[in-house]
């Protein structure tokens, strides 16, 4: 059996930080990542392909988006070397001091995490959108805050993107990738600068996003860490004499392998790490002593989106970085509810497709259609006013209560087996916070001449979708209260750690990736002190 010192499962915000910091401490690090190692050419934004990850058939569908439907709640995540940083909207902000008021292990305070927030900001080169590059959405957010007398709450959000101060929207073909300036980062990886193309969630075509594969993971690899993509971890069990044996499906080779590791860090995300441990406790019974709190205290982070139509205002939701700014109500001034209103863009998938097709069609025009006529048609289609150009996706997060429980259940066609991941989510836990956020979306829309449409999926069915799942293996001071301790070590299983969104025990009400990464920085610094 292959042996390694430290095995990390997953390469997102938790896993990437752990890989670098443990490699710096001298550990031989092996990272197993279920998704691919993406290249710019293979990103869905560029190739138009490889969209879907299917957890049940990962050999066949190992694409970009992992969408899990659990009934009232659905969860979106990324797959690939770099984890959620590939698909995310780049917003990188720390949790607030009052996020730590209760629910955390005693050792985790805002003060304890402060140096680690700073370390993450430095590694991810976090910066705000330059003032000369505000998007129509940024300006609408500012106008809306002023229109309701809350102008001071408007703030431009820091993000992990490299901007070029010379870029501006009035230049010829401003969103053309040719305007991106190429540079080499300190880890030896080639990047570019942002051209506001709006494709952040489906792969930055010019590498302006400072994704984890270009910084934390690149630095870990430079120190000798090995990253194996398309390696899906299925189970683990304690080995005789210490350490753990890990069962892995090599998706490219189509075979199962086992690896021994002295220390294992699960960083497969809130859903991934919790599912793995639930299977080990309840299906394979290899880790029977895991805390009864496993799967409990899961939160959706109150994510909510309200589209609003503007007839006399250009919003261009498909241009500019996906999120740029916020109106901050995290102080509880709205009947005690705490939330952050943000703008939310989305990629111009159809425009990307037409641009790709244009080149292909021009080299081989269909019979009966002359080249000039074809150029005319394509030009017309591409330059058409985007039908969604007047739509503002009001977005945001709220501090809801952690009302979700992940568990393994039976499916109707295999009732003798408990092997289906379930999420029981009580919407009432999120209702007051989400309703307050939705009401503010409506107020801001009306104040700026928009027509909001609160989605029927929430209005009528109380269904939500979250890209910010938190919890499932919650941190706590004891096994009775949670699954892992303040540095992520699993109660009852020395040398087994969880470090990702699964350990966050409360909804933050803001974009969580920097907090997850800072918790990993903290955990790694604590691990350095272990004998």
Ligand X SMILES: Cc1cc2nc3c(=O)[nH]c(=O)nc-3n(C[C@H](O)[C@H](O)[C@H](O)COP(=O)(O)OP(=O)(O)OC[C@H]3O[C@@H](n4cnc5c(N)ncnc54)[C@H](O)[C@@H]3O)c2cc1C
CB of 512 to ligand X, least distance (A): 5
10 binds, among ligand X, ligand SF4, none (CB under 5 to 8 A by kind): ligand X
CB of 312 to ligand X, least distance (A): 29
* Shorter beta-carbon distance to ligand X: residue 105 or 472: 472
Residue pair 337/396 in contact (Cβ under 8 Å)? The answer is no
Give, in order, the Cα–Cα distances in Å from 408 to each of 198, 276, 292, 462. 38, 11, 13, 23
Is the alpha carbon torsion for 387, 388, 389, 391 positive or negative?
positive
CB of 505 to ligand X, least distance (A): 14
Helix/strand/coil (H, E, C) string of 315-347?
A: CCCCCCCCCCEEEEEEEEEECCEEEEEEECCCC
267 binds, among ligand SF4, ligand X, none (CB under 5 to 8 A by kind): ligand X
CB of 387 to ligand SF4, least distance (A): 21
CB of 378 to ligand X, least distance (A): 30
Cα 57 to Cα 389: distance, rounded to the nearest angstrom: 37
302 binds, among ligand X, ligand SF4, none (CB under 5 to 8 A by kind): none
Cα 15 to Cα 252: distance, rounded to the nearest angstrom: 21
* Shorter beta-carbon distance to ligand X: residue 35 or 307: 35
199 binds, among ligand X, ligand SF4, none (CB under 5 to 8 A by kind): ligand SF4
Residues lying near ligand X in the complex (CB under 6 A) are found at 9-15, 32-35, 76-80, 83-84, 87-91, 201, 232-233, 267-270, 272, 276, 323, 467-468, 500-501, 511-513, 516
Residues in the chain: 531
* Shorter beta-carbon distance to ligand X: residue 324 or 448: 324
* Shorter beta-carbon distance to ligand X: residue 34 or 486: 34
* Shorter beta-carbon distance to ligand X: residue 247 or 432: 247
SS3 222: helix
Give, in order, the Cα–Cα distances in Å from 96 to each of 117, 298, 328, 356, 400. 11, 20, 12, 43, 15
* Shorter beta-carbon distance to ligand SF4: residue 298 or 346: 346
89 binds, among ligand X, ligand SF4, none (CB under 5 to 8 A by kind): ligand X
Residue pair 175/194 in contact (Cβ under 8 Å)? The answer is no
Tokens 């197993």 -> residue: 32
196 binds, among ligand X, ligand SF4, none (CB under 5 to 8 A by kind): ligand SF4
Give, in order, the Cα–Cα distances in Å from 173 to each of 4, 192, 355, 383. 51, 17, 13, 11
Q: Where are the alpha helices (DSSP H) in 228-370?
A: 269-278, 349-363
Cα 452 to Cα 439: distance, rounded to the nearest angstrom: 10
Residues lying near ligand SF4 in the complex (CB under 6 A) are found at 161, 194-200, 204, 206, 208-209, 321
33 binds, among ligand SF4, ligand X, none (CB under 5 to 8 A by kind): ligand X
Cα 303 to Cα 320: distance, rounded to the nearest angstrom: 21
CB of 85 to ligand SF4, least distance (A): 12
* Shorter beta-carbon distance to ligand X: residue 274 or 337: 274
């Amino acid at each position: 059996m292959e042996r390694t010192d430290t095995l990390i499962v997953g390469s997102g915000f938790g896993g990437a930080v752990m890989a670098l910091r443990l490699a710096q401490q001298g550990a031989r690090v092996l990272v197993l990542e279920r998704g691919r190692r993406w290249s710019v050419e293979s990103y869905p934004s560029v190739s138009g392909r490889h969209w879907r990850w299917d957890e049940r058939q990962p050999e066949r569908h190992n694409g970009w988006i992992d969408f899990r439907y659990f009934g009232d709640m659905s969860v979106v995540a990324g797959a690939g070397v770099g984890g959620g940083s590939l698909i995310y909207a780049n917003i990188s902000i720390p949790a607030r001091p009052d996020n730590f008021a209760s629910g955390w292990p005693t050792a985790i305070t805002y003060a304890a995490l402060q140096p680690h927030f700073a370390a993450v900001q430095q590694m991810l080169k976090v910066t705000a959108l330059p003032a000369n590059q505000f998007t129509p959405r940024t300006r609408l957010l500012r106008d809306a805050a002023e229109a309701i007398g809350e102008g001071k709450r408007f703030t431009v959000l820091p993000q992990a993107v490299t901007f070029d101060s010379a870029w501006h929207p009035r230049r010829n073909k401003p969103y053309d990738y040719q305007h991106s300036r190429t540079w080499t980062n300190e880890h030896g990886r080639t990047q570019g600068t942002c051209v506001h193309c709006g494709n952040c969630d489906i792969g930055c075509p010019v590498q302006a996003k400072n994704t984890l594969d270009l910084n934390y993971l690149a630095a870990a690899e430079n120190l000798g860490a090995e990253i194996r993509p398309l390696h899906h971890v299925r189970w683990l069990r304690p080995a005789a004499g210490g350490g753990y044996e890990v069962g892995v499906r090599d998706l490219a080779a189509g075979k199962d392998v086992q690896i021994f590791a002295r220390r294992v860090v699960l960083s497969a995300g809130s859903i991934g790490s919790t599912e793995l441990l639930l299977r080990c406790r309840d299906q394979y019974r290899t880790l029977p002593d895991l805390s009864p709190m496993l799967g409990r205290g899961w939160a959706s982070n109150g994510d909510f989106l309200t589209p609003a139509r503007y007839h006399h205002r250009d919003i261009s939701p498909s241009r500019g970085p996906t999120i740029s700014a916020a109106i901050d109500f995290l102080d509880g001034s709205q009947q005690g509810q705490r939330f952050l209103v943000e703008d939310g863009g989305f990629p111009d998938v159809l425009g990307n497709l037409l641009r790709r097709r244009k080149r292909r069609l021009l080299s081989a025009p269909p019979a009966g259609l002359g080249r000039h006529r074809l150029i005319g048609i394509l030009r017309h289609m591409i330059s058409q006013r985007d039908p969604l150009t007047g739509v503002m996706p009001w977005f945001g997060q709220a501090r809801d209560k952690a009302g979700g429980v992940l568990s393994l259940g039976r499916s109707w066609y295999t009732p003798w087996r408990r092997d289906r991941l379930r999420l029981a989510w009580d919407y009432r836990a999120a209702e007051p916070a989400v309703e307050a956020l939705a009401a503010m979306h409506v107020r801001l829309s009306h104040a700026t001449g928009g027509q909001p449409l609160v989605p029927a999926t929430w209005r009528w069915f109380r269904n939500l979708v979250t890209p910010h799942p938190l919890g499932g293996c919650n941190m706590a001071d004891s096994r009775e209260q949670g699954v892992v301790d303040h540095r992520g070590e699993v109660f009852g299983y020395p040398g087994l750690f969880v470090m990702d969104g699964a350990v966050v025990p409360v909804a933050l009400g803001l974009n969580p990736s920097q907090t997850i990464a800072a918790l990993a920085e903290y955990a790694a610094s604590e691990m350095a002190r272990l004998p």
